[in-house]
């Protein structure tokens, strides 16, 4: 079955370290998204991509970067982790002509 | 500035009764609206959606109502079941495939 996976599911890191969260989907979806979920804010968009080599900033993109070298993967990199980036991160994907997004299981990140 | 607002952080309802979740939005460019359900330690799952050309969409026990003039939508769950206990997120899109989410409403269904 087609799916969307995230790894790792849990991560503890230290302030200042570079961290990369993986997202892989097998639906062949053009659109991929990264969100963070924090209490009281719901899900906020970090970065998104409409296709290979396309990346765009979302509303909370500072301190994060993404790259899209193939259809299946959109890794999220925290260049220098900060305590404010402790959160739960969700990856999602959608087809080119559809608004409905399908989410991965999430990665819980703790920055100490 | 949050463009999608869910003003009730929590809702408690008795099993078998109706659950009504509310959502307000400010961006008049939004033309597609979705509800997602989320269990702890899982990703959000799509529940139901509605286009701005409609005012109601029904799927089994779930019905979404849209009032464009009031920039308001609601999700009705009838009858509520214990498995409906979860966090519900309202989301909206302006035809650009990006979603703006509300803060969520935690629903607890009491036996």
Q: What is the pLDDT of residues B49-101, one digit of tens each?
A: 999 999 999 999 999 999 999 999 999 999 999 999 999 999 999 988 899 99
Question: CB-based contact (8 Å) between B106 and chain A?
Answer: no
What's the Cα-to-Cα distance from A93 to each of A67, A74, B53, rounded to whole Å? 15, 10, 25
- At residue A7, the pLDDT reads 97
For A102, the enclosing helix (H) or strand (E) is strand A102-103
Report percent pLDDT > 70 for chain A. Answer: 98
Average pLDDT, whole number, for chain A? 95
Q: Which residues of A touch B (CB under 8 A)?
A: 31, 33, 35, 40-45, 48, 50, 58, 90, 92, 94, 98-106
Rounded to 5°, angle at Cα B51 from A25 and B46: 35
Q: Is residue B2 within 8 Å of B103, Cβ to Cβ?
A: yes
Partners of residue A46 on adjacent β-strands? none
Record: contact A42-B49, CB cut-off 8 A: no
- At residue A41, the pLDDT reads 87
- At residue A58, the pLDDT reads 96
**pLDDT grade for A39, boundaries at 50, 70 and 90:** confident
Say how many C-beta atoms besides its own lie within 10 A of residue A92's C-beta: 27
For residue B48, list chain A residues with Cβ-Cβ distance below 8 A.
none
CA A33 – CA A21 distance, rounded (Å): 13
- At residue A99, the pLDDT reads 86
pLDDT above 80: residue A14? yes
pLDDT above 90: residue B108? yes
Record: contact B98-A90, CB cut-off 8 A: no
The residue count for chain A: 112
- At residue A96, the pLDDT reads 75
**pLDDT grade for A97, boundaries at 50, 70 and 90:** confident
Question: CB-based contact (8 Å) between B52 and chain A?
Answer: no
- Share of chain A residues as helix, strand and coil, in percent rounded to the nearest 5: 5, 55, 45
**pLDDT grade for A45, boundaries at 50, 70 and 90:** very high
């Amino acid at each position: 079955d087609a799916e969307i996976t995230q790894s790792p599911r849990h991560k503890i890191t230290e302030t200042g370290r570079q961290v990369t969260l993986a997202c892989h989907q097998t639906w062949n979806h053009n659109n991929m998204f990264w969100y963070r979920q924090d209490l009281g804010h719901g899900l906020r968009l970090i970065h998104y991509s409409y296709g290979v080599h396309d990346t765009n900033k979302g509303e909370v993109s500072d301190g994060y970067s993404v790259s899209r070298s193939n259809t299946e993967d959109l890794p999220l990199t925290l260049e220098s982790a900060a305590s404010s980036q402790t959160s739960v991160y969700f990856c999602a994907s959608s087809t080119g002509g559809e608004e409905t997004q399908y989410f991965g299981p999430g990665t819980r990140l703790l920055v100490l | 500035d949050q463009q999608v607002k869910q003003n009730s952080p929590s809702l408690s309802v008795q099993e078998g009764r109706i659950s009504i979740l509310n959502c307000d939005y400010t961006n008049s460019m939004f033309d597609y609206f979705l509800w997602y359900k989320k269990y702890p330690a899982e990703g959000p799952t799509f529940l139901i959606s509605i286009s701005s050309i409609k005012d109601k969409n029904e799927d089994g026990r779930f019905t979404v109502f849209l009032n464009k003039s009031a920039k308001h939508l609601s999700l009705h769950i009838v009858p509520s079941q214990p498995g409906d206990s979860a966090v519900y997120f309202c989301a909206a899109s302006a035809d650009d495939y990006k979603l703006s989410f509300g803060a969520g409403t935690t629903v607890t269904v009491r036996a």
